[in-house]
Amino acid sequence: MSGPPSERTKVRRVPEVAEYDREAIDAVLDEAIVCHLGFVQDGQPYVIPTLHARVGDELYVHGSSASRALKIAAGGLPLCVTVTLLDGLVLARSVFEHSVEYRSVVVLGTARLVEDPEEKMKALEAFTEQLIPGRWADARKPNDQEMKATWVLALPLEEASAKISLGPPDDSDSPDADLPVWAGNIPIKTVTRPPVSDPALKHDLPAPDYAVRYKRPGWD
């Protein structure tokens, strides 16, 4: 986001963890595999997990053209997309200060339905390449029927904020620091295991290098 946060994206609680610069926001969006899309129907909020891809100043989400969520989201209604990366558990001396290390991004806005075939194909390439870099070149590309069955929505990253909370417990300068209680962090990582070939694979093909050495931006 360029400029100061909007009234709606301003982080009110614990503002020292807030980040509004696009570099911090993009890093979280690009590392995460899954986002949570929030929309409202008949006053009821719904939150659904889905995949996302960031291209420049927009965040794409996609799904079946038959999806209720996508239909609602494409209708110009206000949306919220939230991405959360969990980095650890924070064990303080007091129960009260227990917490987690995390990095999260909240994007508010309305979505644009991507209808231009060229942009849509580029967006699908971005989904594939951001999910598994290298895969687009190997897999069969979408045909006309599949393109019709897929909706792609673009949400501008204009109203976005990140919260980044990392580091040791907060209570080391409180009276609790004298308590004989171990305090520290348990780091959490998302990792992959060696690829598993489809048992129905007809050809004697090894798993490609991008599957064996799978890594996301930001991973060690």
What part of residues 120-179 is at the interface with its own copies (CB under 8 A)? 124, 127-128, 131-132, 135-136, 138-143, 146, 149-150, 168-169, 172-173, 176-179
From 110, 38, 133, 115, select the one nearest 80 (Cα to Cα). 38
* Nearest distance from C-beta of residue 13 to its own copies, angstroms: 5
From 54, 43, 46, 53, select the one nearest 70 (Cα to Cα). 46
Phi-psi region of 218 (alpha: psi -120 to 50; beta: other; left: phi over 0): left
CB-based contacts of 80, cutoff 8 Å, min separation 6: 37, 38, 39, 106, 107, 108
Distances (CA, A) of 133 to 41, 43, 97, 127, 210: 35, 39, 39, 10, 7
Please select the residue that binds its own copies; options are 95, 115, 118, 144, rule is CB under 8 A. 95
CB-based contacts of 142, cutoff 8 Å, min separation 6: 121, 124, 150
Using CB under 8 A, which of the segments 17-25, 52-60, 92-100, 112-120 binds its own copies? 92-100
Label residues 187-214 b or e (16+ Cβ within 10 Å = b): eeeeeeeeeeeeeeeeeeeeeeebbeeb
Using CB under 8 A, which of the segments 21-29, 53-61, 79-87, 112-120 binds its own copies? 79-87
**DSSP letter assigned to residue 96:** G
- How many residues sit close enough to its own copies to count as binding (CB under 8 A)? 96
* Nearest distance from C-beta of residue 18 to its own copies, angstroms: 13
Neighbouring C-beta atoms of residue 18, cutoff 10 Å: 18
Please select the residue that binds its own copies; options are 3, 43, 115, 118, rule is CB under 8 A. 43
Among positions 181-220, residues that touch its own copies (CB under 8 A) are 181-203, 205-208, 211, 214
Please select the residue that binds its own copies; options are 17, 22, 31, 51, rule is CB under 8 A. 51
Toward its own copies, which CB reaches closer, 2 or 140?
140
Please select the residue that binds its own copies; options are 6, 22, 94, 113, rule is CB under 8 A. 94
Residue 17 interacting with its own copies (CB under 8 A) = no
Using CB under 8 A, which of the segments 23-31, 53-61, 77-85, 112-120 binds its own copies? 77-85
